[in-house]
Amino acid sequence: NATHKLKTPLTALRGYSQMLQDENFEDEFVLRAVERIEEESIKMNKLVEKLLMISREEALVQVYSEEVNINKMTKRIIEAFHNQIRDRGYNISLSEKAEVKIIVIKEEVESVLTNLIENSLKYSSSRNIIVEIGQQSSKYYFKICNNIEKINDEIKDNLFDPFIKGNNKNGEISSSGLGLYICKRLCEKNSFKIQYFIEKNVIEFIIYFE
């Protein structure tokens, strides 16, 4: 109920901030203030969406499984981040070693893949991000790998805990700390195995689809 009530004022805030951005303000402070209102509204909206996702999962809402093509879904998600990838000069390399089709709740697996890709875009310390889809023995997998800055020892073994977040390459924290937690919860719900490995300055997340 709380998250639904937050969505209405957030929508109003974003609407007014977008209207104000169309005005030709000369004062630099006012211009920056309007931009900041928009930026923070977007962050809050993303947090609300993540909290709603957790609450829907816990409420056991009736949903239905369907066949999902992980290759096609991954390409759509990467395309959705096109502007962010372009603006930051990133390059996402997708290696398809197998075509992966699974029976799953589409929205849930899409949320997992989206969060993992978004996480890499936030924290990659280099321009290159590697995504691989394939089959190992009898299991299909999705893998994403990127360079990172040093992760503090007190959190590097607990990245799937709620509200755990590190610093991005600019030293700024720009995360709700819920993305990887949601990934873990949804993978457990769907009997997927998700894990990560950190070696020197490289982190790799991998999901095995059961």
One DSSP character per residue, 141-189 reads: EEEEEEE-PPPPTTTTT-TTSTT-----TTS-----S-HHHHHHHHHHH
The CA distance from 168 to 157, in Å, is 18
Q: What is the mean pLDDT of the chain?
A: 84
Percentage of the chain lying above the pLDDT 70 cut: 87
Q: Say how many residues make up the chain.
A: 210
**Structural tokens at position 28:** 């630099």
Q: What is the pLDDT of residues 184-195, one digit of tens each?
A: 999 998 999 999
Give the residue, 67 or 107, on which the prediction is more confident: 67
End-to-end CA distance of the chain: 34
Distance of CA 8 to the CA centre of its chain: 23
For the entire predicted model, the pTM comes to 0.72
Q: What is the pLDDT of residues 36-64, one digit of tens each?
A: 888 788 778 777 777 777 776 666 556 67
Q: What is the pLDDT of residues 112-145, one digit of tens each?
A: 998 999 899 989 999 999 999 999 988 999 999 9
Number of Cβ within 10 Å of residue 90's Cβ equals 17
User: Any residues with CB less than 8 A from the CB of 145 and at least 6 apart, and which?
Assistant: 129, 130, 131, 132, 202, 203, 204, 205
User: Any residues with CB less than 8 A from the CB of 181 and at least 6 apart, and which?
Assistant: 160, 161, 162, 163, 164
